[in-house]
Amino acid sequence: MAKRGKRKSTLEKRTLILWALLARENAAGFQNEIKPKPDKDDRIALESDGLIKSDRRKNQRIWIEVTERGWDWAGRNLSAALPTQSPAGSQILQAWLIKLKKYMEIENYALVDILNPRETLKPVGETVPAGLDQVPVRKRIRDAYLTISGGRLNTRVLLRELREKLRDIERSALDGALVQMQNNQEASLYQLDNRLEVTDADRSAALYFGNEPRHILWIER
């Protein structure tokens, strides 16, 4: 019984470590600066799950950063249990609130837009075409995703690549199917966080939710 309790506590701590990393600039930092401080077992477990990656840098200090899979996991596990007694909790919450404030200022969102969002996402300026419960379109999206990714799941595919592969499908139909896949949790759509990566082709291919562009398609299973 005690072992199960300890295992649960360890999982909760590792989840909090991930949130601590995500709250930092570029979702990365030196292991000895992160609170709660990850021990070797925490780092290895998170790395084995593909949620972080690490390497040794100056003075042999261990640098840890969240992977795309880690971002995806976090986005789907916002309600994951956290340790109730960690003194690092309030510090992490403060860092997240600062990030939230910055995001709201840049995107011109009010807090109510964040805390009381619409339940179903739709692209800005468009409606999902009527009758677009089109399994064939969604299947073609999945097939194109696997072709572009070399048959791999859990990897990013840029929407500009997907649109090029499926250029025979009307844009509104393709967008509607992508939104439906996200709403059905069949896929996830993400923004390219590194603005330097975003090309004109990415901007043109982006699918917008409110003021937020999505450039990446991610299918987990």
Residue among 100, 123, 125 nearest 113 (CA): 100
Hey, where are the domains in the chain? Answer: 2-115, 135-218
Helix, coil or strand: residue 120: coil
Q: Could you write out the DSSP letters of every residue in 30-69? A: EGGGSSSPP-HHHHHHHHHTTSEEEEE-GGGPEEEEE-HH
**Arch. (CATH architecture) of 2-115:** Orthogonal Bundle (1.10)
Residue 180: closest CA among 147, 143, 148, 135: 135
> How far apart, in whole angstroms, are the C-alpha atoms of residue 123 and residue 212?
10
Task: Quickly tell me which residue has 């390497």 as its tokens.
Answer: 55
| 3-state helix/strand/coil string of 137-187 | HHHHHHHHHHHHCCCCCCCEEEHHHHHHHCCCCCHHHHHHHHHHHHHCCCC
Task: Give mean pLDDT, residues 68-75.
Answer: 87
Model pLDDT for residues 124-137, shown as the tens digit of each residue: 544 444 444 457 89
Q: What is the pTM of this model?
A: 0.50
Q: What is the pLDDT of residue 10?
A: 85
User: Between residues 121 and 117, which one has the greater pLDDT?
Assistant: 117
Confidence at residue 52, expressed as pLDDT on a 0 to 100 scale: 93
Rounded CA-CA distance 139/172 in Å is 16
Helix axes 2-22 and 40-48, enclosed angle (nearest 10) = 80
On the question of pLDDT at 69 being above 70, the answer is: yes
Question: What pLDDT, on the 0 to 100 scale, is given for residue 116?
Answer: 64
Domain 135-218 has CATH 1.10.357: no
Has residue 140 got a pLDDT over 50?
yes
Higher per-residue pLDDT: 186 or 4: 186
Q: Indicate if the pLDDT at residue 138 is higher than 80.
A: yes
